Amino acid sequence: MAKQLRRVRTLGRGASGAVVWLASDDDSGELMAVKSASAGGAAAQLRREGRVLSGLCSPHIVPCLGSRAAAGGEYQLFLEFAPGGSLADEAARNGGCLPEPAIRAYAADVARGLAYLHGNSLVHGDVKARNVVIGSDGRARLTDFGCARVIDSSGPIGGTPAFMAPEVARG
């Protein structure tokens, strides 16, 4: 990605130290989300996430548009911008609850995304309302693949403890 990007605003921050910000391409005006991490472990984790995303193509997964190593060892992933924000944001905008038809539609989108991942021998590892975003078409898409891993992998299981199954949290 050789585009000249302008930072518009911060969209979120992850526990790993990654920051997600809204960027505008100076030439085209196109908006995208940029997930960036400084040098070190966080950048290595973001590179791994980029490798996972580069092999995925589903309307229920946020597309990765590319990546680059930036100045000072920072690493950046370029993701499709989801103007609806996260599912947690959508619930907050609606007083903490959503109408049943919306819940049904979002749940179906998430289930289809998970079925796609599982069909590709991947586990997301951190499904929660903050990691589901709403695209410009109104459909829910899975994002944040920092904890994703291959099914039956012997590697450590990551995720947000409050959203883990009890047996996973216990190790």
Category of 60 on φ-ψ map: left (φ > 0), alpha (ψ -120 to 50) or beta: alpha
Catalytic entry in 126, 137, 144, 152:
126
SS3 25: strand
Would the CA dihedral through 21, 130, 76, 44 be positive or negative?
A: positive
Give the count of alpha carbons within 13 A of 130, CB side only: 12
Q: How far apart are CA 43 and CA 76, in angstroms?
A: 8
26 closest CA partner among 41, 7, 43, 40: 7
CA–CA gap between residue 5 and residue 25 (Å, rounded): 5
In the DSSP assignment, the letter for residue 66 is: E
The question of whether 126 is a catalytic residue gets the answer yes
CB 88 within 8 A of CB 130: yes
Residues annotated as catalytic (active site), given as ranges: 126
